[in-house]
Every structure is written in structure tokens, then in C-alpha cells.
Structure 1
Amino acid sequence: MDTSSSDDVIRWFEEAAKSAGKVQMQTLKMILEMNHEAEYLQKWLKDIDVHNMNAEQLQSLFASKVPLASHADLEPYIQRIADGETSPLLTKQPITTLSLSSGTTEGRQKYVPFTSHSSKTTLQIFKLAAAYRSRVYPTSEGGKILEFIYGNKPLKTKGGLSAGTATTHYFASQEFKLKQQQTKSFTCSPQEVIFSGDYKQSTYCHFLLGLFYAPQVEFITSTFVYCIVQALTLFQDCWKDLCNDLFNGTLSPSITIPCIRISVLDLIKPNKCLATWVSSQCEELKESNWYGLIPKLWPNAKYVYSIMTGSMQPYVEKLRHYTGDRLPLVCAEYGSTESWIGLNMDPCSSPENVRFTVVPTFSYFEFIPLHLIMYHKDVVVNGGGDDDYLEGDPVPLSKVKMGQQYEIVLTTFTGLYRYRLGDVVEVTGFYKGTPKLNFLYRRKLILTLNIDKNTEKDLQLAVHKGSQPLIKSRAELVDFTSHAKTTNQPGHYVVYWEIKGEVKDHVLAQCCKEIDAAFVDYGYVVSRKNNSIGPLELCIVERGTFKKIMEHFIDNGATMSQFKTPRCITDKALLKILNLGAIKRFRTADYM
């Protein structure tokens, strides 16, 4: 994609969208022509001349020959790459960099191949998204972006490959530096702050420079909305030190990393007037529990931009508190560590209603139709599937139907072939020839003890319903997770809450009952009624417990830019953190 302006990039995308089916076939052909000599593909395509087949024939052959795959199927090849093997295993060109997932979904970190193509597609979707945003929220020449982004020093695998988070690789890439040079707005923080390796020191400096450049800040962003909410929580503890540094042009002694000190002190100057103004605003904001903090301190900011769907949805209301409902919340694009998928063409849509338009050049997409199984009220199915769906045969992008739910399958330029992503989406319409998707949830089950099958979305809905009595008590649910406890029989669900504010025990007991009753999965309902699953337990943990969980992941190689609170915990170290922080426990007696 060679584009030089917002209009050019939009025209490019519209042309691709118009003939999305053909573009997809050409994308697959390009991937196979590049990589068909790789060992993995040779198992299925050994005698196939991919160069002399037309794209339509190749698409059909690929679907019939190459099986669907999970990460477990590809992991032996990725591990050989990590161990230093340079023969073509997944791609013709050697892979020299690996992305490291956070491990919050699967319970452990996993490697995903990362190439220059990964950085280029990230730059492409950022330019495309910015072009659509600028039509609604134009930015000014010389403006700044307050970005809460974090990188860390990549690890080295046994074979000497660089392994780090996808965000770390991108922030260190030439493509990111090119973006910074080419866009009108520049991030407030230099590379030394982004790559400090200490999220607290980085966050402090992000704020200091963000306040120093406050009149020029056009919008506020982070990879995940959790990062913004977490940063604003930290701000409430350090705003006085920030005002002191603004007043004097200094940097707090708590910032101890030499390269950060040098880079920040090189940028800031004393600004007594600004420091006094920020201090007065903060004194007022304290009285309203920091309601409207963002527009108060960054009065020229036009919106807040971040990923706000899926596991990030629970933090959206807290962000609205900080924006005072005065700034638009713009949901960022839909992607994964494995590939970018869709674009938010409508920046005005709320996070709850956002739809993502598939970009047909990034990967080759297939979609597994999912058909919900409807159980008879007196029939218990001791199923063999991983959830309550029957699967159809995968279909290409051009064959999806509006209103149908699908699981996404990826074939990428980086060596993933017919890779089941696990994301469940609904096709809500089309833009020209490419589908628009509503992200529903990750298909992976997180709570199951017997024949019960509950996903992250099921847990979110149950917690949302169960937390309604908190709102009436003027308390706030800070964060939550869960655990399927089997140490005693029958096993039962444990839901952990961290709350802010005083709540009476009878209210929390009611919350516990509401959560238990809100799980509507048929297997759970039946199992609770016949006591093969015990009463749900609500465990209240002390303030700061979920911060300890975040720091545990960061200490083990994750970054703030990547962190997502795990919604179901099996790891013994994390369960120990939760149980040591427990201050109250409630159990439902009888299933309602």
C-alpha cells in the first residue's frame, strides 16, 4: 500500500473492499507462493505448483488439503525456530523475531512469529484508522498525543532470537518511528520513557510531559483502555509531585533510571503558571472523585482512543467517569497478536456498538459457522464439544452471511495456516464487498466443572448483573476474576471482587445470589439444581490485590501495553495473591 495522504489511503481501502473476494484469493496466493516450500506446508502441498494455478483453484485446493490448526499444532515448529533452527519451517525466509503473548488468556505465554510484515500492517491500519478519525475529529498541525504506551527489553530465546510483546516490537520498529515522523501529531514521550521497563516510572513521565504539553494534546490513547484507567488511578497519588516538577522544571527523585531522567529533563522547563493551574484543577477534581479529569486537564483533547471491546469492556464506564461524558470514546481497531483483522470506520460509534470492517489484504480469512444448540428443558446433553455450538464447514470471506455467528480462521504472511483464532464474531452487514463484524467473545471456555460451559462473556454478564446492588450503595467494582474450585466436592465457582467504597454485608450477600442466578448456561442451571455444582462463592479482596496480579505478569515479561486482567485463574501463584487478599466471603445457600 503506497499512500501519501488520508484521501489516498481511504481510496486504497475502498478499492480493496469493493473486490474483497478477489483480493482475498490473491492474498492467499501471495502467501502460498512465498511460503509453499516451508516444511509445514510441504506436508500438504508437496506436489502442488502454486505458481501456475489461478487464485480461485488455489483457494479451493488449500481448503481441501490443509487442515484447520490450533496453536498446539504449530507450537513444535515455533519452538524449533525459537531454538535456533534456520531451515524453512513455517516461512521461506527465516523468522528472527517472536511475539510473546501476555499469557492472561491461556494461562501461559506463547510465541507467535513476528516479521517486518507485522510492523508494516500495523502502520497501515494506524494510517487508515487515523484517516477516518481525522474526517470527524481533525487534528491541528504541531499537536501532541498523550500515549500511555510501554515497551520492555526483548528476551533472547535459546537460539538467540528476539522475543518480546508485539507492542514492544512495534514501538521499536522503523515503521513506528516513520509514523511518528509522518503524522501531524507526535507522542509526548521519548523512546527512553516508553522503554524504561518500569511502568510506574514511565507512567509518571507520561503524565509530566503530557501536562507540560497540555494545551497541545489532541487526543489521549493507549493500546488497551485498562492502561488509561490504571494510569489515571496512579495520577491521583502523584499529582502533587507532578505539580512540583512542573513548577520547578525538575524530575522527582522517584525517577531513578538515568536515561529517563536525561531525556525528560532535556524537554521540560519551569512553568509556574501551568503548575498553579493544574494544582487548582486537581484540588477541585478531588471533591468530585476525579469526575471529568481528562477534559479538565487536557481542555483541547478531542477524544480518547483505545481498544474497548471484549475483556476491556468492564473498564469503559470508569473511563466515562474520567471523561465526564464530555469526550468521545473512540474504539481502536480489531486485531490480535497473530494478525490485524478489522477497521473502525465509524469513530462516532460508541464502544458498545462498534463494528469492524475486515481489511482483506492483511491475512487470508476463513469463517467457521457456529449454530447454537437449543436444549429441551428436560434433556441434559453430556456433550463432547467445547461449547454449545455445532460447527459448519469453514467458508471464505466472500461467502459469509449477515446475522450468522462465526469463529475466525487465519492464514498469515508470518507462517500461520488455517489457524483457529478462537474469536467469535457476528456479521452485521457489509461495506462494499467486505463484511462488518461485531466482536462477541473469545470462544475458549473459562469456567467449567461438569457439563457447564461458560465463556468470558458469560462471566461478564453475570458480574454486571450481580454488581447492580453495589451501584445503589454508591460503591464501585474495581476489578474481578474467577476460579473453578475443585478441592472440595461438589466443585463450585469462586468470583473475586475488589471494590471501592463501604458496602454492607447483606448487600454483598445479595450480589452473590444475583451472580449465581445470572449464569444461564443450561449445563450450569441443571448442575446447580441437582447439586453436582455447589453454591457460588463471592470473595471480596482488599484494595490493591488486582494491582499485585498485574505486577506479577509484568515481573514475568508482560508490559502494561499488553496486560489484560485474567478472567479465570488456575495459576497457583495468582490464586495465592487472591486468597491472601481475601477479607470477606459469601456463599449462596440454595439455587434460585
Structure 2
Amino acid sequence: MILILFMVTIFSSSGTTDGRQKFVPFTDHSARTTLQIFSLAAAYRSRVYPTREGGRILEFIYSSKQFKTKGGLTAGTATTHYYASEEFKIKQEKTKCFTCSPQEVISGGDYKQSTYCHLLLGLFFCDQVEFITSTFAYSIVQAFTAFEDVWRDICNDIKHGTLSERINLAKMRKAVLSIISPNPSLASKIEENCKELETQNWLGLITKLWPNSKYVYSIMTGSMQPYLQKLRHYAGGLALVSADYGSTESWIGVNVDPYLPPEDVTFAVIPTFSYYEFMPLYRENHDCGSAIDDFIEDEPVPLSKVKVGQEYEIVLTTFTGLYRCRLGDVVEVAGFHKGTPKLNFICRRKLILTINIDKNTEKDLQLVVEKGSQLLMSKARAELVDFTSHAELETQPGHYIIYWEIKGDVEEEVLGECCKKMDASFVDHGYVVSRRTKSIGPLELCIVKTGTFKKILEYFIGNGAALSQFKTPRCTSNHGLLKILNGSTIKRLYSTAYS
């Protein structure tokens, strides 16, 4: 018997969620569904935010290096496969909008150089840009944060038609220099706008520099929500449109209501992408802040049997060979769109902070950090750049550590108040009881040096992740990350909430 394998490549996940990369089969069906969902999403967006044919897209997109598995298959991240595919070219033709950057910039392999060139070309074509996008909101925020430091060099390059010496990749240099040409008047206009923006802490950067842009488009749910405040700051009132719902395993749903803010977005399931089952989840306490692993599971039901208001975990059987794969995503059915369920993403089911009887999820942590950062902003006018956490079990009693990178000068007294506020904001009953009985120690807030989370990004990219798929881990036990975090800690504060 002859066995013919049609699968020639595999996806690798970024590994930033739990520190390990997953490998998922990639076939022609994967490419077709990607093209289909992008075309569908573009059609729904164009109803609300019509774009000009022949316009451009400022896309902060990045490929990583592909590699061979022991079995001889080509492997790489999902975005790497897609950006190198014929479907990526077809998508631009179908939507009549074309990315500002050539393939040499997307696949350059150095995210700092690629980001610089994305920004340069985006500004060179600034009047033609219809919208701004990236896979995750994080990538857009990091690009504009970088722009605050390099805008003068970019203006100089546009003025003279040159390219900064910071770009040393030969193919990238050649590709970019073949596109740009001297434009002193444009450079002067951008320089004038940037000087004004600098005095306003870059508020409304996007609308000022890309005056014809209609919206910002990216994944903004789940672990991306902490970046919404900064993204809105840069967008200056421009619409933020949440991108579609998918995973490394399969695409799931499309945003059919792009006018809704990211916090209210739902996703209509595309029934032909995979075979979907939904595992009903029940809990006595319906407070979203409670620990979700206390769910009682029922038998999975098919797509046609789901009920509005019920929470489920998604189970996938895919055309690429995965059978009854549990995603670990908790979703709620918010309604229906022409018979197919519209899903509201609630959170990842996995507990990320637990020491004994305490159970806290990524959403619990986000709510706690949000309260602490609000205090930081009101008391010190400082900004939380990024955060992660760790359940410290080596010392007794064990305790939570939250790592903050902040922008601005903050007095130690204010940081102490933030630490206390966060500790008192965990509502999980197991945590509260454990803190009161001293079986969990005081929350520890570690302030890390500026640039620490860039080091974390570089750590993951060095291990094969692509910037397009990077998500800051919200909790980690990874020794490499903890070494970076603890080595960069400049202040340690302990909560007095239960003293």
C-alpha cells in the first residue's frame, strides 16, 4: 500500500503563551481559509469604512526564518507561511489595497530594521494609506513607540531619498531604495507635524501623519486589551476595528460588526472552516472575575445546538488532521448572524496564578493590573508600558510577583499604594482567604528597567517567534524570562493590604 502525504509544511505557534511552541499541519485548505476570512472581513469593513481602490495599507508585518523538522518538513510560524504565499498577493488584488512594504522588508528577519522601513515607506506613501494594521495590537504600539525615537532619521531619508545606515541588510536596502525618491516638501511637512506631536506626547499621531486613514485594524481582544489605551492615544479618535477570531489550529469567526469598539466585538463562526463542538461550562458564581477553572463541564454540542448566553469551551476537528482539539478558549454565545453563532471571547481557561487553593486567570490579572495602573496614572501621571507575573513557590509562604515597566518618574510611596491596591483587588475567594490566614505571602511589585520587555521580545524572536505573532506572556515560570526580569528589577515593593 502506498501512502501519499499532501501535507508539505507545518505551522509553529509563537510559544509566547506558555513558553512552548506547538506544531500544527499546514495544507492548501489552511491557505484557502485564510484568504477566505480576509476577503470576508474586508467586505464587512468596507460597508462601514469604504476605502479607495488602489490605496495602500501600512502593515506592520514580519516573517521569521523557516526551518526543517527531523522528519524533513518545512516549519515556520503561521504568519511566515502566509506572507510568503500566493494567497497574500491574491488578497491584495481582491481587496484592491496594497501593502506599503515589499517582501524584502516583511521577510528581512530583523524586526527593528523591518519596523524602520515599514514606517519610512508608510510615511512616503502617507496620503495613500487607507488603514493601518498588524496581526496584534502590540506590534502597532511597539512600532509607534520606536517612531518617537527615529522620526528625525526618517524625515532625513524622505528628504534626500536615502536610507539610514541602521539598515544593513543588503536585500532590504536595495528594495527600499528602489521605491523612495527625494521629496523635501513631504519631509518638511512630516517634520513640522512631528515637532508639534512631540509637545503633545504623540497624541493623535496616526490621524496627523496619515490624514486619509479610515481605521486601525488588529487583534485587540484577550491579552491585547492592555494595549488599547496606548493605541487609542496614538489613534486620536480614529476607529479601532478588532480583527477576526482564530488560532494556530484553525480560523473560527469573522467580525461582522466592525463599527463596534474592541471591548464589545463578537465573531460570527464560519461553519466550513472546521467541525466545531462547544463544551457547555457552568459555574455557580457568574461574576467574570471569579476563577473559571471551577467550571462544571457538560457533553459537547454541535454548532446548531448552542444557546444564547451560555458559555462554552471550543473543541475543533480540522481538515488538517486534528481531532477534537480543545482550544482552552472560553466564549459566550452573544447571538446569531444568519443562523451561525456570534461568539464573545471571554478569556483563556487556563489558570496562570495559583499557589494552593487560589485560582486566578489572565483576565483576573488584567483586571487587577488595570486598577493598579489607574492609580499610577491618577497619582503620578505615569504610564504602564507592559507587565507580566510569576507565582513564586520557592519561598514560604508562596506569593505572587507582578513585574511592571513604567514610563515616568514615580515616588516609592505611590508605587506602594499601587502594590497594595492590586493585592486587595484579587477577588478569588481562595486567594482572599489564603492572604488573611498568611498561607500566601504579600504581593510583590517589581519595577524593571526601561526596555526590559523589549529584551523579552528579543528573547522570543531569538528562539524562533515572529513579531507578528508575539504576545507578552502574562504569567511565566520560564527560567530565561525570569532571569531577564529579575536581572532588570530596580525596585521591589510588598503589599500591606492584609497586614
Separation in structure 2 between the aligned mates of residue 132 and residue 112 of structure 1, nearest angstrom? 29
SS at match of 1:387: helix
Long gaps (5+) in structure 1? 1-36, 38-86, 376-384
Residues of 2 paired with 1:276 and 1:416: CA distance?
A: 55
Separation in structure 2 between the aligned mates of residue 536 and residue 502 of structure 1, nearest angstrom: 22
User: Mapping of 1:421-432 within 5 angstroms?
Assistant: 421-432=327-338
2:5 & 2:275 partners in 1: Cα distance?
19
Q: Distance in 1 between matches of 2:320 and 2:422?
A: 42
1:408 aligns with 2:319: no
What does the per-residue CA deviation read over 1:193-234, in whole Å, with 9 as the maximum and x for residues that have no partner? 000000011011101110111110000000000000000011
The structure whose Rg is larger is: 1
Unaligned ranges ≥5, structure 2:
none
The 3 A distance-change label for structure 1 pair 420 and 299 is same
| Match of residue 492 from structure 1 | 399
**Alignment correspondent of 1:348:** 259
Once the two structures are TM-superposed, the CA of residue 152 in structure 1 deviates from its matched residue by 1.9
Q: Which residue of 1 aligns with 2:93?
A: 181
Aligned 8 A contact 2:423 2:497 in 1:
no
Tell me the CA shift for residue 590 of structure 1: 4.6
The residue matched to 1:244 in structure 2 has which SS? helix
Determine the structure 2 residue equivalent to 1:419. 325
The answer on 1:372 being equivalent to 2:283 is yes
Counterpart AA for 1:238: V
Query: Do residues 97 (structure 1) and 9 (structure 2) align?
Result: yes
- CA distances 1:285-306 after superposition (whole Å, capped 9, x unpaired): 0000000000100000010000
Q: What displacement does 1:349 show?
A: 0.2
The structure where strand makes up a greater share of residues is 2
Asked if 1 retains the 8 angstrom alpha-carbon contact of 2:6 and 2:27, the reply is no
Rounded to whole Å, the distance in 2 between the matches of 1:359 and 1:247 is 47
Indicate if the aligned counterparts of 2:62 and 2:468 stay in contact, CA closer than 8 A.
yes
1:545: which partner in 2? 452
CA deviation vs aligned residue, 1:231-288 (integer Å, no higher than 9, x gap): 0011111101100000000111110111111111111110000001001110000000
Task: Provide the secondary structure at the position in 1 that maps to 2:130.
Answer: strand
RMSD: 1.5
Residue equivalent to 1:363: 274
**Shift in Å, 1:503:** 1.2
Residue aligning to 2:206 = 294
How many residues are paired up?
494
Q: Hey, what does 1:47 align to over in structure 2?
A: none
Task: For 2:232 and 2:61, locate their aligned partners in 1 and report how far apart those are by CA, in whole Å.
Answer: 20
Which residue in 2 is equivalent to 1:82?
A: none
Alpha-carbon distance between aligned partners in 2 of 1:386 and 1:141, rounded to the nearest angstrom: 46
Residue 145 of structure 2 corresponds to residue 233 of structure 1: yes
In the other structure, the counterpart of 1:338 is: 249
Moved more, 95-104 or 492-501: 95-104
- The residue aligned with 1:582 is 489
In 2, the alpha carbon distance for the partners of 1:212 and 1:480 equals 34
Question: 1:364·1:412 contact (CA, 8 Å) conserved in 2?
Answer: yes
Q: Distance in 2 between matches of 1:465 and 1:388?
A: 24
Kept after mapping to 1: 8 A contact 2:56/2:97: yes
2:236 counterpart of 1:324: yes
Cα distance, 1:386 vs. partner?
8.3
C-alpha contact 2:193 2:208 (8 A) present in aligned 1: yes
Residue in structure 2 matching 1:433, options 316, 339, 364? 339
Does the aligned pair in 2 maintain the 1:251–1:265 contact within 8 Å?
yes
The answer to whether residue 28 in structure 2 is matched with residue 122 in structure 1 is no
Letter in 2 for 1:309: T
8 Å contact from structure 1 (residues 139, 218) kept in 2: yes
Q: Deviations over 1:487-524 (max 9, x none)?
A: 11110000000011111111111111111111111211
TM-score (norm 2): 0.97
Deviation at 1:430, TM superposition (A): 1.0
Question: AA paired with 1:543?
Answer: T
What does 1:183-262 correspond to in 2, within 5 Å? 183-262=95-174
Equivalent of 2:49 in 121, 132, 137: 137
Matches within 5 A, 1:250-289: 250-289=162-201
How far apart are 1:453 and its partner, in Å?
A: 1.1
Give the secondary-structure state (helix, strand or coil) at the position aligned to 1:112: strand
Contact 1:493–1:536 (CA under 8 A) maintained in structure 2? yes
* Contact 1:201/1:254 (8 A) holds in 2: yes
How far does residue 374 in structure 1 lie from its aligned partner after superposition? 4.5
Q: Please give the alpha-carbon distance, in whole angstroms, between the structure 1 residues aligned to 2:127 and 2:89.
A: 24
Partner SS state of residue 145, structure 1 = strand
The letter of the residue matching 1:269 is S
Question: Identity of aligned pairs, percent?
Answer: 68
Shift of 1:182: 2.9
Structure 1 counterpart of 2:347, one-letter code: Y
Per-residue deviation, 1:432: 2.2
Hey, what's the Cα distance between the residues in 2 that align with 1:437 and 1:591? 39
Q: Which residue does 2:437 correspond to in 1?
A: 530
Q: Does 1:391 align with 2:302?
A: no
Deviations 1:335-382 (A, max 9, x none): 01111111111111000110111111101111111111459xxxxxxx
Q: Report Cα offsets for 1:94-146 as digits up to 9, x if no partner.
A: 42211111111122112111111111101000000000111111111221000
Match of 1:453 in 2: 359
**Residue 591 of structure 1 corresponds to which residue in structure 2?**
498
1:589 CA drift (Å): 3.1
1:377-413 deviations in Å (ceiling 9; x for gaps): xxxxxxxx98111111111111111111100000100
Change over 3 Å in CA distance of 1:321–1:374 after alignment to 2: closer
CA distance in 1, matches of 2:434, 2:296: 22
Q: Does the CA-based 8 Å contact 1:373-1:390 persist in structure 2?
A: no
- Provide the secondary structure at the position in 2 that maps to 1:365: strand
Q: What is the alpha-carbon distance in structure 2 between the residues aligned to residue 243 and residue 432 of structure 1?
A: 49
Preserved CA contact (<8 Å) 2:115 2:143 = yes
Q: Distance in 1 between matches of 2:93 and 2:335?
A: 36
Task: State the one-letter code of the partner of 2:298.
Answer: G
